[in-house]
Chain A
Amino acid sequence: QKEVEQNSGPLSVPEGAIASLNCTYSDRGSQSFFWYRQYSGKSPELIMFIYSNGDKEDGRFTAQLNKASQYVSLLIRDSQPSDSATYLCAVKDTGNQFYFGTGTSLTVIP
């Protein structure tokens, strides 16, 4: 079974701070990595994806990938109360199958 592990949280950060979300995965053959945001009672929405080692930035979000350590993270700069949600890490294998972590709950305190 391919596993994706996340700290469930809750993670609380003050408004304007950097929130750091982490994810580890078990399958070394994993192809690409995704971060979804899920508001309470809503479906997941894609924030960003990464498939090469290193950093990828998109606005206030930065995804970091280290395939050797089987580790992927999401940094949210200048956190806003509207960022309060559950963040799901997803890993895609070469067979186009996605595996999801249980999510990290983030609360941004005004």
Chain B
Amino acid sequence: DGGITQSPKYLFRKEGQNVTLSCEQNLNHDAMYWYRQDPGQGLRLIYYSQIVNDFQKGDIAEGYSVSREKKESFPLTVTSAQKNPTAFYLCASSKRLRTAQETQYFGPGTRLLVL
């Protein structure tokens, strides 16, 4: 089955700790994205990557870091600099083609909670 997987489903972070959220896709998509969703709010873009070994900051990149060493993988690290990390984190992917029909597909999400 093709799709996007995220792990873990729930993640608990202690004060001052860095944590890494995993995102893997087997859809052969070039582009991958990380969003954050807070209750009652829309999706806000953290980072995105259109190609391996390249990524760009989104609207709320401060306190987060990413890497894109493989086409299939786009892990997100929430650093201790992110003071309010409690949220639902969504990974998405799409083909890189800039056609009108091309859409984003989402993984199941990771819920991050602060202890």
Interface residues of A (CB under 8 A from B): 4, 8, 31-32, 34, 36, 42-46, 49, 51, 88, 90, 92, 94-98, 100-103
Contact = CB atoms under 8 A, between A and B. Distances in A.
B43 interface: yes
Interface of B: 31, 33, 35, 40-43, 45, 48, 50, 90, 94, 96, 98, 100-109
Contacts, number: 55
A46 B48 CA distance: 20
A96 B98 contact: yes
A44 B100 contact: no
Given A31-B98, A32-B103, A42-B108, 8 more contacts: A43-B107, A44-B43, A45-B106, A46-B103, A88-B43, A98-B33, A100-B35, A102-B41
Contacts of A34: 103-104
Contacts of A36: 106
A100 B43 CA distance: 6
Contact of A94 (B50, B94, B98): B98
Nearest to A44: B106
B107 A100 contact: no
Contacts of B48: 97
A41 to B, nearest CB: 8
Contacts of B42: 4, 88, 100-103
12 contacts: A31-B98, A31-B100, A32-B101, A42-B109, A43-B106, A43-B107, A44-B43, A51-B100, A88-B43, A95-B98, A96-B50, A98-B33
A46 B105 CA distance: 7
Contacts of A44: 43, 90, 106
Contacts of B100: 31-32, 51, 92
Contacts of B105: 46
Contact of B96 (A46, A94, A96): A96
Contacts of A49: 101, 103
